Structure 1
């Protein structure tokens, strides 16, 4: 990888090089250009910008095309702006530490190390898609995206915004999908439910991603940010629902239940709000009930065993065509007894 140089070559350096080759001093160059010695001195030092007219004058004096002089000047001014920007970025590092930088480094979203303050801030801003941290807070509080405004009262906005932004950036890779197909999603639900029982959990997840994409629903997985405590989120972007899951508890029952919970938001609720699992809202309660009833009907739920009977769990799951861990999870939630049946749960991990 080519490193960006930390020095600047001024347009005046190129002029001075030509003058040395031609054994010409500043006074003579000023006479030939028809300008003052002061202006030539400022050109040589980089203080005065090289105008298009001076570039044309230099073309006649030096024989070097004006486009090259203009290129030298553009490169010089760009380098000046780059170095100034590096200093401004480094100055924002202390504020950037409010964001989960260690998490971003762990999963490779930020590759700059802690010593590279400017690089760290630059990559964070690229994730957030803002020019600086002032712009981030202004956009979050007053921007046109409704879900940002609904979450401004939270005390973990920096973590939440980072997690949400990672999903939005990831979803851009599947932006060529079809529009949202509500009937198609309804028809897909039995297939998604059956995927929970697959012998190959990772393949089942990939199939779910592709199947949902075909009906205009984007599903992505973004690692949980420490301390955020959110299993899933749903909002609409570009007319399509975006569902992201965190694998917070890393178990297949939680993954599938959260997915169906978020699909409940897609089918039951509006397309203007952000829905975060764990929020104490009517919409969250409705999505919970919808997902629970879809996976295990209320009539069957009423007959589930209340004791620690793994064989019964497996038999019921086979009859229902769903993962045993989902039946187990339902029993555990209703009995508040979580200290058994762990062998029925399959684990998912993000690669760090």
Structure 2
């Protein structure tokens, strides 16, 4: 049986800063940064920092880029939003990568076998998926989730039980 992935399932783990696209547009047109900065009424330093990825493309900047280059402002702001989300995920992933202590409390193998978690050994990705599974934002929020459960499970006297 062939499994076809849905369009929503595709989620690249990379993004490019809109400054890279701006640099390509300038190169394709043969414009220098200084020439473009005059046309867009932006400082050369501002254009340079956008191209170098150290400055974001704001809504105002996106409108200027649209007027000069012809690419819709919503595309520029969309590229910036994807970049910002990619960067936030990377920071969050590094913070979650040290998640062995939290993961050790859950039946990870069984959750993987049942398809609730991805088949990976990357602790950061596993913890992120576990947080999504329980619909909590951070490991600290698990306590709030347990406190609000509408059911209480039976406990066996023969085995050690865990709230996890």
Matched with 1:276 is 154
CA deviations on 1:253-308 (whole Å, 9 max, x unpaired) are xxxxxxxxxxxxxxxxxxxxx363557xxxxxxxxxxxxxxxxxxxxxxxxxxxxx
Match of 1:215 in 2: none
Shift of 1:23: 0.7
Shift of 1:121: 1.1
Contact 2:15 2:82 in 1 (8 A): no
* Equivalent residue in structure 1 for 2:140, among 134, 141, 145: 134
- After superposition, the C-alpha distances for 1:49-107 in whole angstroms (9 at most, x for unaligned) are 11111111111211222222222222222222232232233232343222221232343
Q: Between Structure 1 and Structure 2, whose CA radius of gyration is higher?
A: 1
Matches for 1:79-158 after TM superposition, within 5 Å: 79-113=86-120, 115-137=121-143, 139=144, 143=147, 145=148
Matching residue of 1:23? 30
Q: Of Structure 1 and Structure 2, which has the larger fraction of its residues in strand? A: 1
Contact 1:26 1:37 in 2 (8 A): yes
Match of 2:18 among 8, 11, 15: 11
Partners of 2:104 and 2:90 lie apart in 1 by 22
Q: Counterpart of 2:161?
A: none
1:213-272, CA deviations, whole angstroms, 9 ceiling, x for partnerless residues?
xxxxxxxxxxxxxxxxxxxxxxxx4xxxx6xxxxxxxxxxxxxxxxxxxxxxxxxxxxxx
Query: Aligned residue for 2:160?
Result: none
Q: CA deviation at 1:3?
A: 5.9
Q: Quote the Cα distance in structure 2 between the aligned partners of 1:65 and 1:107.
A: 44
Instruction: Give the TM-score taking structure 2 as reference length.
Output: 0.76
1:143-182 equivalences under 5 Å are 143=147, 145=148
8 Å CA contact retained: 1:92, 1:121: yes
| 2-structure distance, mates of 1:26, 1:42 | 11
* Unmatched runs of 5 consecutive residues or more in structure 1: 148-236, 243-273, 280-352
Deviation string for 1:131-182 (max 9, x for gaps)? 1212213x157x5x2x6xxxxxxxxxxxxxxxxxxxxxxxxxxxxxxxxxxx
Alignment coverage as a number of residue pairs:
150
CA distance in 1 between partners of 2:133 and 2:61 (Å): 41
- Alpha carbons of 1:126 and 1:27: their partners in 2 closer, same or farther (altered >3 Å)? same
TM-score (norm 1): 0.38
Q: For residues 5 and 127 of structure 1, do their structure 2 counterparts lie closer, same or farther at Cα, with a shift above 3 Å needed? A: closer
Using the alignment, how far apart are the partners of 2:112 and 2:43 within structure 1? 54
Instruction: Give 1:47 shift.
Output: 1.5
Task: Call closer, same or farther: CA 1:67–1:140 in 2, change over 3 Å.
Answer: closer
